[in-house]
Each structure stands twice: as C-alpha cells, then as structure tokens.
Chain A
Amino acid sequence: MIDAKHYNFAFLDEGSKREIRRSILKAVAIPGYQVPFGSRELPIGRGWGTGGIQITLSIIGKEDVLKVIDQGSDDSVNAVNIKKLVEECTGVELTTDSEAATIIQSRHRIPEIPMRNDQILVLQVPTPEPLRIVEPKESVTKQMHAEAEYSGMWLSLFEDLTQYGEISISSEYPVMVEGRYVMNPSPIPRYDNQKLNNSDTLYLFGAGREKKIYAIPPHTDVESMCFEDVPFKTEDFEGKRCRLCGAQGVYLDEMIDESTGEKVYECSDTGFCRGRRERGA
C-alpha cells in the first residue's frame, strides 16, 4: 500500500467520497435516473473508467474483496491498471473469482455467475445518456426524461426495424427502468441486459467524463425496449461452445484459429472459464 501519510485511504479525500456516496444514494432512490456529481481528477485519463473507479473508491472498505474485469477479461490493460491503483491505495484483497468478490468493477460485461445480494457490481459508462442518439442537447434530453418523452427512442427502434428488418443495436441496448426512466445499461451486450432485471445485486453505473451516476437497486424491473409484436432478442449462441471449458449457454467471443483458419469460440468471462477448467481438473 502507498504511503498513508501522503495519500488518503482509497485515494480520494473523505469529503469527495462522501459526496459521491450521497449521489449514489440518490441514484439508488430513483432507479435509472442520472444523478450529476462532481467528477474528480484521478491518476488515469478520463474515458478510462474514471466514473467506475470513483464509485469503487467511494464505497470500498478494508474488508472488501475486489475483482476488476474489462470486456470479461481479468487480464486486460485497463482492468490490470485499475486493480493496481485500487490495491495500492487501499490494500484490499484482489480476486479473479466472481463468487469471492464483494465488489466487481466491470466494463462491457456482467459476470456469468449470478451475482448475490451481498455483492455490488460497478459498471464504467462512456455515454450515460441513452437519448443522445436522438437528441444532441443535454438540456433537451433532461426535459425529455422529466416528461417521460421517449418517442424519439421508440422511433429509432422503429427506424431500425423498417430499414434492416431487425433492431441492429448490439450493445448499450436501451432499457426501461421501473416503467419510468429509459436508461443506458452501459456498453454491455444485449445478452447481459436480462441480468439487470429483478437481480439480487446492486448495480452502480459511473460516468466520470460525463459526471453522472445512476443505479439499479436489487429487485428492480428492467425491461429492454421492444415492440409488442417484435420481442427483444439476445445474441444467439445456439450450438456453439467454449473451446477451452466446453461451456454452452454463456456469452462467447468469436475468434479465428490461426493454425486452422476456423471460427472458434471462447468464454468472454475469463474468470468463469478458468473456474470451470480448474473444477474440471
């Protein structure tokens, strides 16, 4: 751990952490509502997960066990750097096991293993505003949320169906939270949207660059937006399995085997895949 004389526990000063926790509490009280907060400078570039890091640093305690993943991987550069920063300034235990972690910070994925009520998932968000694709002005999108005016969002889905015969959004698929706020679930694949609905765990979303925090508390209704006669569809992995652990019915990464030139699949959640292989062994 870094020198406690020069750095505060969890890097941020206590006042900053308290303010962020207050914003988190407000976000939990109004599921799906984007709460503005004073995003702090961090020793990491904006857009590299500073929103998620500020949430993690504000809620972490000495007894917590932290897991950080990036696109499902425990070993990517972003995940490793964030892990090092948090470990240096808190001294908490790190893990790659989703079940052992009390806080999981993630970008682009929700772990495969269902999360529990005593865990918190912190998601990094680049663009928190789901209506940005239909309206560029922040003042207007705020008004649209206030009036629950989501025709533009529905229209973009209608337009997709008209032009392509299907909804072409692959990640950041908009969701309706508790029938009130349209929310961007962060750039998770559509496959992970279903994990947000009526979950046991608390999801916290942090956007450092955009200075917004929002949340989905446990057992909240989260519905992916879709028309009555066009049901929401996730990615289809029918008949495919992980080449390393043999898992089926999980989110898989597609890659080309360089030696054979064939398409192969591996679990996107590397911790889950490693766990399966270790248990199998």
Chain B
Amino acid sequence: MEKPVLDIQNLTVRYGKTCDYCRNGGTLVKNTCPHCKTVWACSDVNVTLYEGEILGIVGESGSGKSTLMKSLYFDFGITEGEGYLRDFENGEVNIFEQSLQKKKYMKNHIMGMVYQNPLLGLRMDYSSAGNIAEKLIAAGQRNFEGMNRRVEELLDAVEILQSRKKEPPKNFSGGMQQRVQISKALANNPAILLLDEVTTGLDLSVQAKVLELIRRIRQEFHISIMLVSHDLAVIRMLADRTIVMLDGKIIEQGLTDQILDDPQQPYTQQLVHSLL
C-alpha cells in the first residue's frame, strides 16, 4: 500500500486545565467544557495525506480547521498526538516530538504554508523578492544570484511581473499578496503545501485565478496539498478527498463528490444544503 506523505494520529489541541468531566468525554458546548471552560480546539483528529492529492477540510468558523493547519506547521504546540512525515526520517519518528531545529528543517524543506491573512505569512515592508528569498535563506542558501534566479522563476510561476519584484506586498492587491505567499511556500519544492483559506476575502475573478494557480501547481509540481476552506465550491473544484470538521472533531470524510452529493451527517447535510 502507498505510504502517505503525512499521517496524523489522534491530534489534540486544547487550551485550559481540563477536568474529569471533559477528560471523560462529557458533552461540550461548542468545543468548550461547560465546567472548567477548557477549549478543545482539536480532539482526536486523524488525517492522512497521499502523494499528489488535494485534501479539502471544511467546517464552520471555530471548528478547528486553522488550528489543525497551524499545528502541522508548528505554529502552535499540540497537547497530544502523533505525526509522521514520509520525507522526514522515512516517516518513522513523531514530528511533534522533535527539537526546534528539526521542526524548522521540516518547515523550511518539507512544508510550505499559505495563511488566510497575508500579514502572517509576509513581511509587508520587504520586497516581494525578499519575501520569497526568506524561505530560501531559512533553508540555508547563501548564493545571491542563485536565490535571485529562483525568485524570478517563482514569480513567473504565479504570474507576477518581474518588474514588480522590488515592490513590497503592501502595494499589491489581496490576490497578488496570496500569490506571493504561494510562491514563497513553493520556494524549496516542498512535498506538502498547506493552504489556509487562501481565497477568503478575494473577489470572484481573483479567486478563480488563485484556484487555477493551485490546480496548475498540483499538476506541475506533483505536490500534496491540504486545503482549508469554508467555501464548498472551492472544495468541489479542487479537492480529491474531503474532511468535514465540527467543534474540533472530524465528523465525516470521504471522496469529495461523495461528501458533497451524499452527505451522511446532519451537519454536513445542513452545510451542503445551505449552499444550495
């Protein structure tokens, strides 16, 4: 059987001290314990990502989608769980138990992240070229011309004019900022691309361009993508498989067409019908 690029097992992220009630599976009110107020942002999440696939993650605000993504990118510490990356130590060690240096290595060599808010992923006062080069520098590159060439290749790939490479992203439109983020995330040819609501807040024509870019990137770079969105149209267009999250838990998963055309869970049915 094909080895997954990423295998996450029983991932839990919680904020608070917990109590006997919530630890023993008591009913939570929106992922918050009514007794001790502990927030269970993600509970026992299991995810596998295979080579070259796009895995969609849908759910309402506060369902734990972004927490899952940021935990995978080591922006947040996790409470419990295991994770295995095929390209790190042959997928034999738990990535969450590694040193800061090794986590940094994984972030810079194996994964790329595009945040919903470009302010989290870009330095708005540095040039676009500098923003992309930051990822190359973090991976240990110290050849200026080599980095410059790579920056130009990446800007071409996301269709940003070379003449604008010295401009800071703050001068760019939202769609262009997302494209700079995507090129930065792709800089070191990562095996996994994490996309967190990349089209939120963009107008429809710009959204279409970004989505087309993601599709092209998957084909050209044969990269595995985890795509968080609350827009089911985006998920239908891009994702091969889809996970539905609610209150920090995965409630349904399967092939995208199956999930969207024949949802089994009441929440998923509500989600799909609200679109129609």
* Complex interface residues of chain A between 118 and 164 (CB less than 8 A to chain B): 147, 149, 151, 154-155, 158-159, 161-163
Residues of A within 8 A of B138 (CB): 151
**Interface of B: prevailing SS:** helix
A161 nearest CB neighbor, chain B only: B144
B142 at the interface (CB under 8 A from A): yes
Q: Across the interface, which residues of A come within 8 angstroms of B101, CB to CB?
A: 147
| Contact A154:B142 (CB < 8 A) given known A147-B101, A162-B166, A163-B166 | yes
| A230 located at the interface, meaning its Cβ lies under 8 Å from any Cβ of chain B in the complex | yes
| B161 CB contacts on chain A under 8 angstroms | none
Q: Closest B residue to A163 by CB, please name it.
A: B166
- Count of interface residues, chain A, beta-carbon cutoff 8 Å: 14
Compute how far the CA of A155 lies from the CA of B128 in the bound complex, rounded to whole angstroms.
Answer: 12
Interface pick from B27-35, B69-77, B129-137: B129-137
Alpha-carbon distance between A228 and B142 when the two chains are bound, in angstroms: 6
A228 near B143: Cβ-Cβ < 8 Å: yes
Q: A159 to B143, alpha carbons, bound, how many Å?
A: 13
| Chief secondary structure at chain A's binding surface | helix
Q: Which of B104, B137, B146, B165 contacts A155 (CB 8 A)?
A: B137
The reply to whether A163 and B134 contact each other, CB–CB distance below 8 Å, is no
Asked if B145 CB lies within 8 Å of chain A CBs, one says yes
A278 part of interface (Cβ distance < 8 Å): no
A262 at the interface (CB under 8 A from B): no
Q: Which residues of A contact B104 (CB under 8 A)?
A: 147, 149
Q: How far is the CB of B139 from chain A (nearest CB, A)?
A: 9
Task: List residues of B (137-195) whose CB comes within 8 Å of A's CBs.
Answer: 137-138, 142-148, 165-166
Shortest Cβ gap from B75 to chain A (Å): 15
Contact B144 A230 (CB under 8 A): yes
Q: Which B residues from 80 to 130 make CB contacts under 8 A with A?
A: 100-101, 104, 123, 126-127, 129-130
Set of chain B residues within 8 Å of A159, measured between Cβ atoms: 126-127, 130
- Residues of chain A within 8 A (CB-CB) of B144 are 158, 161, 227-230
Q: State how many angstroms separate the Cβ of A142 from the closest Cβ of chain B.
A: 14
Report the bound CA distance from A216 to B39 in whole Å: 50
Contact B137 A151 (CB under 8 A): yes
Partner pick for A151 among B134, B147, B148, B166, CB 8 A cutoff = B134
Contact: A162 with B130, CB < 8 Å? Answer: yes
- Nearest to A227 among chain B residues (CB) is B144
Q: Is the CB–CB distance between B143 and A163 below 8 Å?
A: no
Bound-state Cα–Cα, A95 to B109, Å:
57
B143:A155 contact, CB within 8 angstroms: no
CA distance A149 to B123 in the complex (A): 16
Instruction: Check B137–A158 contact: CB distance below 8 A.
Output: yes
Among the listed B100, B147, B165, which residue makes an inter-chain contact with A158, where contact means beta carbons less than 8 Å apart? B147
Specify the chain A residue showing the minimal Cβ separation from B144: A227
Q: In the complex, A162 Cα to B151 Cα: how many Å?
A: 11
Contact B133 A155, beta carbon cutoff 8 Å:
yes
Query: Once the chains are docked, how many angstroms separate the CA of A159 from the CA of B132?
Result: 11
**CA–CA, A223 to B148, complex, Å?**
23
Contact B133 A158 (CB under 8 A): yes
A228 vs B144: C-alpha distance in the bound complex, in angstroms? 7
Q: How far is the CA of A154 from the CA of B134 in the complex (A)?
A: 8
- A155–B142 CB distance below 8 A: no
* Bound: A177/B5 CA distance, A: 39
**Are A227 and B142 closer than 8 Å at their CB atoms?**
yes
Alpha-carbon distance A227/B144, docked complex (angstroms) = 6
Nearest chain-A residue to B145 (Cβ)?
Answer: A229
- Which chain A residues border B166 with CB–CB below 8 Å? 162-163
User: Contact mask A170-206 → B, CB, 8 Å, 1/0?
Assistant: 0000000000000000000000000000000000000
| Contacting pair A155 B145 (CB below 8 A) | no
Are the CB atoms of A155 and B127 closer together than 8 Å?
no
Alpha-carbon separation in the docked complex, A41 to B133 (Å): 45
State how many angstroms separate the Cβ of A231 from the closest Cβ of chain B. 11
> Which 10 pairs, one residue from A and one from B, show the smallest C-beta to C-beta distance?
A227-B144, A159-B130, A151-B138, A154-B137, A228-B143, A151-B137, A230-B144, A155-B134, A228-B142, A158-B133
- Taking Cβ atoms with an 8 Å cutoff, the residues of A that contact B are 147, 149, 151, 154-155, 158-159, 161-163, 227-230
Cβ contacts A to B, 13 pairs, < 8 Å: A147-B101, A151-B134, A155-B126, A155-B134, A158-B133, A158-B144, A158-B147, A159-B130, A162-B148, A163-B127, A227-B143, A228-B143, A229-B143
Question: What 12 new A-B contacts, CB under 8 Å, besides A151-B134, A159-B130, A162-B166?
Answer: A154-B137, A155-B133, A155-B134, A158-B137, A158-B144, A158-B147, A161-B144, A162-B148, A163-B166, A228-B144, A229-B143, A230-B144
Chain B residues packing against A (C-beta within 8 Å): 100-101, 104, 123, 126-127, 129-130, 133-134, 137-138, 142-148, 165-166
